[in-house]
Amino acid sequence: MKKKQTDRQSKLIRITNDRARIDQLLRKLKRFGFLPEAAPDAETLAREADDRLFKSILLDPNHVLRKHFPETRPTNYNLRPRAHEFKLPLKDDRNFVPRLLFKDMY
């Protein structure tokens, strides 16, 4: 248990360090004029890329990543528009597919 916890902590430290390095790179690019000052930060860029990928997977039934998504559930009701029609798996914030399936679910 102790080893698993330290592995998780070291992974979080690496992720934090990677994000700091990317943010530092973007600040340098802005300072030297390679990016406009109004350019979004790294987190916004990553979120937008995830949204574009998820949308392309939703719209293309033959997408290569579609096999990693759960089955769709049929609905007989015409209720409010939904983010997607997939069956929801157990919540898991660490993996890409479940994280996007639970995004904007309210």
Sequence ranges of the domains in the chain: 1-39, 41-106
Arithmetic mean of pLDDT over the chain: 78
Identify the pLDDT of residue 58: 81
Tokens found for residue 71:
């089955």
Instruction: Identify the weakest region by mean pLDDT among 1-5, 48-52, 76-80, 94-98.
Output: 1-5
Q: How many whole angstroms separate alpha carbon 61 and alpha carbon 70?
A: 12
> Angle 65-85-69 (CA atoms, 0-180°, nearest 5)?
25
- Scanning the structure block, which residue is given the tokens 């069956």? 87
Q: pTM of this prediction?
A: 0.62
> Angle 30-21-55 (CA atoms, 0-180°, nearest 5)?
80
Mean pLDDT value across residues 28-37: 93
Identify the pLDDT of residue 73: 67
Q: Are 50 and 100 in contact (CB under 8 A)?
A: yes
